[in-house]
Structure 1
Amino acid sequence: MPTTARVVVLEGDFGVCAIQELELPDPGPHQAVLEIYAAGIEHGQLQQVEEPQPLPVIPGREGTARVLEVGSEVTRCKVDDVVLITPWSADPGREPELPLVEFDDGTETEVAPAGSWGTNLILDEQFVVPIPNLMDKEGASVLGNTTLFAASAVRTAGVGEGDSAAVFGCAGVGLSTIAAAAAAGAGTIIAVARDDERLEAATASGATETLNLSSAAAVERIAELVPGGVDHLFDCVYEFETASRPGRTPVRDGGSALVVGLPGTEERQDDLDA
């Protein structure tokens, strides 16, 4: 039977949102109806609210939820499972089933994944990841986007046992990248940030060395720590002054350099293009 949900709806430009009560349809063959425990809010999702786009939209890219109902062909989860909500597909070869929802203004729109800012959600199973029921559901709500994104970057870079890595930026994406690199077996992980508290968090996440970017010699110090260049460079900030940009960090021949996220300014995009 249809599920009533109270959700945040982006109704206008510049982040104009309202709470609407919507009727979610019965799940399709590959869909699951979810009851939201908690939803994450981070930089990328705030950017999602502020970007011009076809309206209305239900924001939210990550969260945790309990499965209330599943479609006839769902295999990734079952009723009463606890799941992560993520915008990253586990089955990119199959076109996702998107629910058709009617909003207060009469508009009928297919709701794109993940739309986690609400009490309930209907979502294709390829955007859910079952997790242990004993996990902290509020704490885990920020894992579906940022953490999986960072883990994907580390996997793409091919970080392996004993490798060296430099991670610029120690907010959510940077700390997740550090943790993923440590889990992959990296031997030297250099965290670079402007804030000492974030550098302490980086150490707790697995960094073996920390450098404060306020020091003019921070980038040069990396060359001293890893002669010949690091195996992997992860740029998780995208906003550095010219003299300290990670593009100046020595990376060994055959190493990797990845921007984890989106460039924050037009100037930064020019730097990446160069």
Structure 2
Amino acid sequence: MTTSENVEDPRRAEARRLRIDPGLSRSQLMQRFGVGNGTLSEWLSGINPPEWTRRPNAKDDLKERAIELRLEGATVPAIALEVGVSKSTAYQWTKHLPLDQTPEQAAERERRRVARMDEVRWEPHRKERDAARAATGERLEAWVGDLTDRELILTGAVAYWCEGAKEKPWGKTSKGLQYINSDPGLILLFLRYVELLGVERGKLTYRLSIHETADIPAATRWWADVVGVPVEDFRRATLKKHNPSTVRLNVGDSYRGCLMVYVPKSSRLYWEVEAVMGGIVAGASRRRLG
């Protein structure tokens, strides 16, 4: 039966009226007029079902959750597992919501998927590694124990020789001890070292060396707390110029630059550091030869 015949069929108007008032169901109308589902659908086009035929769907909440997960970027298998339905049901509920609108979105979703897989795969290994590292730390920290003044002078001299300012072969003029580092532990080691050399902490001066885009006041306060001096004791910071072409990883709140510590009138102390380092190198050589 064609569409034009349906329109001309007087039963069409009667079916539409009965659908509205008294609100017969589709099965009642099909039985009453002896037509199939397709013909009745054409007759009732544009008419909403009666309210009494709208039965609550026990899966409505699950469907809403499935749609939420899809909008968050979940795949059909993941949705099915989460809400407890078959993959085909999850697909029917969410097929109107494609995961990726652009190739870039598809690449980003794949990156996240691979990252999640790596996390699951390597998490047990990471836990085992972290536990082994913690055990190693505890064992060796206990082995080091308390250092004597001699040991502190030896380690302090090595720390300075690695990171402190040194004379150049072409200019044998010592400017004294100038130490710079970003590690607060090494800074505190150097401070303890110069104390053993007879220098009072109150005579030291401090300067921050930091990137110009950093939070300089916050970094200054942080370092002042580390060394235990007022912020006002710090000299004006030395700023590093910003280079847009450089990809910097030392950014954010954890970046606090380096602290430079100056020991005034310490030319002769530099000689002592130099001599101690010479003794350490010579002693290590004798130990190896012996």
TM-score range, shorter chain: under 0.3
**Bigger proportion of residues as helix:** 2
Per the normalisation by structure 2, the TM-score is: 0.24
| Larger Rg, first or second structure (1 or 2) | 2
